[in-house]
Amino acid sequence: MPQMNSTPIKELANDDRPREKALKYGFSSLAEAELLAILIRSGTRNESALELARRIYAEAGNNVHTLARLSVRRLQSFRGVGEAKAITLAAALELGRRRMRNDRVGEPKITRSADVYDLMAPYLVDKSHEEVWLVLMNQAGKVVHHVCVSSGGMTGTVVDPKIVMRHALECHATRMILVHNHPSGSSKPSQQDIRLTQKIKHGAALLDIELTDHVIVAGDRYFSFLDEGML
């Protein structure tokens, strides 16, 4: 069966064209696929840029976090996306991540688990592998440093308590929080997560450092050991 040509964006009504729609109503009026279409710029003979963008976004489960995990090579696997387009998309997504990180200026103060998620989600939500981070604070709860202490595979990573304690001592921290991600999207802690929490808690106590929480980031959700009474 012969393929039918798609309708070019230029033949759509002005309010249906991503660029014109953005200029008239603002970028916030555009759906995610429409924003992608602007970055892609052009489609193929049988697919407009907007249709290509919708296909890519659908393949990512219509989820921005999943989209941001796609590598340049994976983006190039879509027909109509060459190296230049793939790099443009990856660069735009990285800018978005950096904007999220830079939104928190000065010394953030941790008063609840949601503060931990807001601080660390930009570093973890798009990761396709597990990472464990350490948030170090002074007695007033102000963050003095946050650092990745372990990076592993899709289902787990190994944390050396000695490295955790070294960072805490070097920063003269009196309180700290463990944070790691679950690329699977499940926020439920594993038995390994529970054992690690207790191990770090007991080791830190010997140095008069308090482990105040362990937060698991799972996409747009999170799990707090403190909130669940497990710390």
Tell me the pLDDT tens digit for each residue of 142-165: 999 999 999 987 777 889 999 999
Q: How large is the average pLDDT for residues 71-92?
A: 92
Tell me the pLDDT tens digit for each residue of 107-126: 688 999 999 999 999 899 88
Apex 174 CA angle, 172 and 176, nearest 5: 105
For residue 155, give the nearest of 174, 123, 181, 134 by alpha carbon.
181
Handedness of CA 195, 127, 164, 214 (dihedral sign): negative
Q: Which residues pair with 224 in a beta bridge?
A: 215
* pLDDT for 135: 96
For residue 43, give the nearest of 72, 93, 9, 92 by alpha carbon.
9
Q: pTM of the full predicted structure?
A: 0.65
C-alpha span between 174 and 186 (Å, rounded): 30
